[in-house]
Homo-oligomer: A and B are copies of this chain.
Amino acid sequence: MSDQRILRPKPISGFPEWSPEIRSVEQAWLDHIRTGFERYGFASVETPSVESLDVLMAKGETSQEVYTLHRLQEGAEGDSSDARLGLHFDLTVPFARYAAQHFNELTFPFKRYQMQRVWRGERPQEGRFREFTQCDIDVINADQVPLHFDAELPRIVHEVLTGLDLPAWTISVNNRKVLQGYYEGLGITDPVAVIRAVDKLHKIGADGVRAILVDQVGLSERQAAACLELAAVKSADASVVTEVKRLGVESQLLDEGLEELGFVLDSLDDLPAGSVVADLSIARGLDYYTGTVYEAAFDDDPGYGSICAGGRYEDLAGEFIRRRLPGVGISIGLTRIFAKLVAEGRITPGRSCPTEVLVAVPSAERRGDALRIGAQLRDRGINTEVFHQAAKIGKQIQYASRKGIGHVWFPPFEDGGEHEVKNLGSGEQTTADPESWRP
């Protein structure tokens, strides 16, 4: 083979790939999250990886990040039938399209989870990938969505993340009605502009936000100060309602928002203190949120960005169906969380293979016995390999040891003889019965 013919493959930036040992942990995480979602009655939905560009662009926001598909030989065949397909950049737009398209087949309130890869044609940087997995839950209904769900979603996320043994994190909750009502109570005419400015608080600081509010949005110094006063409110429980009321601003929308926020926090008061907190600086820039909003981050690295986010929206799929579909949803940024922990060496690698026991093949004559023992163990749900050839026992033990297989099984030397199993951890070797032994 000449050197030129070897194409040494390199990792593609922004497209994570794991060794088998890390992948087995990722798979365990995915199973854990799925089980957690199903425990609350959410049903699995998967959508194609692509949507038509019309659908992806229906909200017109994220055009920059979309990967479009082209057939490599398109020019040659003069065919452009696929030219209008793009990879989905989140799971919300595909779910909106799905809910509209299958509206008549779904039972409402419809609770779905969706765990899939999404793609964004972004420049990769810390915490930003071009291919990554998101785990979304949403509840939508055909008229209104009870507030019950605003409290249930962070509870589910709390439960799921708790099971993953992450570095400390906090779920922050706020309510857009509180922000909007408070701003209106201050006599501000463009509350959305204020929300957008406050959303930058963690990046540019209070003085930066104040400057935008006064210079660009046109607030008085007093109004700007009052907005920053609200954004500074944080509370681990429903006492947040009193704290905000103490600021002395009044509006009906504010009262409504505070009631909702209080309901959510009260409903979660059985969770460990500080795991879900009210943080009035959380704004979520996206226009479609209208009530509760969520955002979670690592306590020791808030600048890494949100690891989950979501909120309540008045209408999911207005672009696709003449039915209002309000809902509330939250998305876990699985890859963003997992990749950070991998990079920091905080993921304990799993096993390199799922095998629990290796059945040794001491000689070609006894291969049939070994195969039968393997089948017996597998029938009992034990992950079993039969060694792939007759070989010296030492070589077979070495194979098991290199692969992290915990036990080696030795078939009896003669018909009716004793089976033995060696525990490679302890070195202990004991007799065993393939009908009852457990690893």
Closest to A101 in B: B9
The reply to whether A7 and B67 contact each other, CB–CB distance below 8 Å, is no
The reply to whether B319 and A50 contact each other, CB–CB distance below 8 Å, is no
The reply to whether B71 and A9 contact each other, CB–CB distance below 8 Å, is no
Closest to A319 in B: B7
Q: Pick from B27, B38, B55, B64: contact of A7, CB below 8 A.
A: B55
Interface residues of A in 111-126 (CB under 8 A from B): 111-112, 117, 119, 121
A63 to B58, alpha carbons, bound, how many Å? 32
The reply to whether B403 and A354 contact each other, CB–CB distance below 8 Å, is no
The reply to whether B42 and A354 contact each other, CB–CB distance below 8 Å, is yes
Q: Pick from B17, B41, B47: contact of A355, CB below 8 A.
A: B41
Closest to A381 in B: B39
A403: which B residues are within 8 A, CB to CB? 107
The reply to whether B6 and A319 contact each other, CB–CB distance below 8 Å, is yes
The reply to whether A354 and B9 contact each other, CB–CB distance below 8 Å, is no
A94 to B11, alpha carbons, bound, how many Å? 12
Interface residues of A in 34-54 (CB under 8 A from B): 38-54
The reply to whether B43 and A354 contact each other, CB–CB distance below 8 Å, is yes
The reply to whether A353 and B72 contact each other, CB–CB distance below 8 Å, is no
Number of copies of this chain in the oligomer? 2
A355 to B6, alpha carbons, bound, how many Å? 53
A10: which B residues are within 8 A, CB to CB? 101
Name which of A82-90, A202-210, A212-220 contacts chain B. Answer: A82-90
Q: Pick from B8, B43, B322: contact of A1, CB below 8 A.
A: B322
Q: In this assembly, does A24 line the interface, its C-beta being within 8 Å of a C-beta of chain B?
A: yes
A383 to B24, alpha carbons, bound, how many Å? 25
Interface core residue of A46, A149, A354 (most chain B CB under 10 Å): A354
A140 to B165, alpha carbons, bound, how many Å? 35
The reply to whether A383 and B41 contact each other, CB–CB distance below 8 Å, is yes
The reply to whether A385 and B101 contact each other, CB–CB distance below 8 Å, is no
Q: Pick from B23, B51, B111: contact of A353, CB below 8 A.
A: B111
Q: Pick from B7, B53, B378: contact of A58, CB below 8 A.
A: B7
15 extra interchain contacts, Cβ-Cβ under 8 A, other than A5-B319, A8-B100, A68-B71? A17-B47, A26-B46, A39-B383, A41-B384, A48-B131, A63-B73, A68-B69, A68-B70, A69-B69, A70-B70, A72-B121, A82-B121, A111-B385, A148-B388, A152-B386
Closest 4 CB pairs of A and B: A41-B355, A15-B48, A71-B121, A41-B385
